Structures are given as C-alpha cells and as structure tokens.
Amino acid sequence: MRAVIQRVSQANVVIEGNQVATIEKGVLILLGIVPDDTHEDVKWLSNKITNMRIFPDDKNIMNISLLDSGGDAIVVSQFTLHASTKKGNRPSYIKAAKPDIAIPLYKTFVKQLETDLNKSVQTGEFGADMKVSLLNDGPVTIIVDTKNKE
C-alpha cells in the first residue's frame, strides 16, 4: 500500500457535482493498493498515519499526531500512485490491484483508520471520477509505502 498524506486546513471530495466528503483540520489520504497488499499492511499503515507527528505543537514544531490533534481524515482511492513511468510517455497502471482485490482492502483500511482514530472517516467513492480540493497546511505532504517499512 502506498499513501500520500497531506496535512490540510480543509479538504473536500465532489462527485458529479455533489459534495460527498468534507473536513476542516486533518489529513487527506490518497491510497494506492497493489495485489500483494495484506491486512497486515492495512494495520501497519493505519497505525503509522494515526500516530505520525505532523501537526504543530504550541512552539510550532511538528510534534502532535492526527490522533492527538483531534483532526479528521478523508481517504481517496488512487490507483495512479502505482503508475510505472519507465517506458514511454503513457504511464502503465499494471501494478495497481484490480477492484476485486483493491475494494475490500480499501474498505478494510477505512474501518481500521476509524478504529485507530476512534471516529468516523470520510471517503471518496472507489473508481469514481472525483474532484478533490484541499488547502495543504504547511505545506506538509508525506509518502508512506508499506513495502518500505524498514
């Protein structure tokens, strides 16, 4: 699993003109899944995101986690995070998991994040054409890949 985590002052997701998710302070998580991702990857990634200290403390030092900040989260599926750009000018998405594998893991990740944060998490819609807007706070953008745990 690969996640792009963006600390935001606000973010929202619109599908076909309808706003389906909106948050103020928190994180927007773009999530890409490959076929060999597991439930262990889900748990590890959710724990990492929940406890990563990317919010400022009273001295403006990134020392507060999403969990401790009380911030919210939006999770958006993003198969393009696993694009291969080695050959040619058209990215290949062959490494991304097909929906029969990706959808259950995506849903499991959202549930795990809700458990770890002890609050509901908003989402986009898997496979939909989404318009994602955000006000990146900092800016802070971090990429985490479960294949690079060590």
Q: Give the CATH number for residue 17.
A: 3.50.80.10
Q: How many structural domains compose the chain?
A: 1
Catalytic residue flag (residue 79): yes
Host domain of residue 19: 2-148
Which residues in the chain show pLDDT less than 70?
Answer: none
- Catalytic-labelled residue, pool 6, 50, 55, 79: 79
Q: Would you state the structure tokens that stand for residue 144, as one six-digit string?
A: 């985490």
80 is catalytic: yes
**Cα–Cα dist 109/30, whole Å:** 12
Are residues 67 and 117 in contact, defined by beta-carbon separation less than 8 angstroms? yes
How crowded is the C-beta side of 78, counted as CA atoms within 13 Å? 19
Report which DSSP code applies to 98.
Answer: P
Give dist(CA 35, CA 93) in Å, integer. 12
